[in-house]
Amino acid sequence: MTRSVIGWVQAAPLALVLAGFLVAPIVMIVIVSFWGATEFSIYPAFQFDNYAFLFGSEVVWRVIGATFKYAAITWALTLVIGFTVAYYLAFHIRSQTVQIALFLVCTIPFWTSNIIRMISWIPFLGRNGIANSALIDWGVIDAPLEWLLYSDFSVILAFVHLYTLFMVVPIFNTMMRIDRSLIEAARDGGASGLQILRHVIIPLTKPGIMIGTIFVVTLVMGDFVTVRFMSGSQRANVGRLISNDIGLLQYPSAAATAVVLLATVLIVIGILLRFVNIRKEL
């Protein structure tokens, strides 16, 4: 048996798993997206009504815009926070034991479910919550701030809370692989701390940044539970459109929206992968 045949035999079990649990469901979603639906049933067909309604609705375009807005703002905030945390852990903490301990502290929120973490913000951000009460007591405001909860602010805050760790981990992993002699050489050459950060650390950290970006963007664009809870059902994203269609038994419309979302995410990932080769990090 030749080496190539042995390789195919070894890869066959994983290929079958991927085909059965990844490719086949996606193919079914694409097929169903062309079907028709009545108020109480769906029927096989090949029509573009679902896509025509999707791209012809002004409401849908606003929801798509809101989805990109949430993803962009969350990405920017998680990048700043994640890079800062990873930089501190990688370059300012010398003890590996302390690094591990602090890293575990960052994972503490993940010991509970996402819903519990979201609900915990409600008594803090509410009209009579801790934040408003403290600001009133300090004399900063005269009346409670209505936009702290059930708004875009609360949605983005929850996203940042939920997904910052997905930015911290790959950036930290990449920073730990940076040869410290490069930083010493730059410092000996007269480079300032900002120059070292800009010309040495950030370029060498790009693979980690891209991996974290892919994680955060894809998770935010597909998340609908966070938008529902933290906006009080007053905001929507593409994920919520899919959830609402499923609740109304409009599976073809939900499938069409899912196909568009999947295609959009794949395009975004494809664009990101053109900026850096992340295979070295995998």
Category of 199 on φ-ψ map: left (φ > 0), alpha (ψ -120 to 50) or beta: alpha
Does 86 have pLDDT greater than 60?
Answer: yes
Does 281 have pLDDT greater than 60?
Answer: no
Q: What is the mean pLDDT of the chain?
A: 87
pLDDT at position 278: 66
In a domain, residue 88? The reply is: yes
Domain count, the chain: 1
pLDDT at position 188: 84
Structure-derived torsion over alpha carbons of residues 142, 148, 152, 154, reported in degrees to the nearest 10: 170
pLDDT at position 279: 66
In a domain, residue 134? The reply is: yes
pLDDT at position 142: 84
pLDDT at position 168: 92
Does 100 have pLDDT greater than 90?
Answer: no
- Give ∠ CA 185-174-280 in degrees, rounded to 5: 105
pLDDT at position 30: 94
In a domain, residue 38? The reply is: no
Alpha-carbon distance of 60 to 38, in angstroms, equals 20
Q: What range defines the domain where residue 221 resides?
A: 56-281
Does 105 have pLDDT greater than 80?
Answer: yes
In a domain, residue 26? The reply is: no
Which residue from 235, 228, 229, 231 is spatially nearest to 63, judged by alpha carbons? 235
pLDDT at position 119: 83
Give the mean model confidence (pLDDT) for residues 191-215. 89
Provide the 8-state DSSP code for 234.
S
pLDDT at position 225: 87
In a domain, residue 161? The reply is: yes
CATH code, domain with 158: 1.10.3720.10
In a domain, residue 114? The reply is: yes
Does 5 have pLDDT greater than 80?
Answer: no
How many of the other CB atoms lie within 10 Å of CB of 165? 22
Q: What percent of the chain shows pLDDT beyond 70?
A: 97
pLDDT tens-digit profile of 113-145? 778 888 888 888 888 888 888 888 888 888 888
Residues 6+ apart with CB under 8 A from 108: none
In a domain, residue 260? The reply is: yes
pTM for the whole structure: 0.87
Does 1 have pLDDT greater than 80?
Answer: no
In a domain, residue 17? The reply is: no
pLDDT tens-digit profile of 215-262? 999 999 988 888 888 888 788 889 888 988 888 888 999 999 999 999
Does 26 have pLDDT greater than 60?
Answer: yes
In this structure, are residues 156 and 164 in contact, taking their beta carbons and an 8 Å threshold?
no
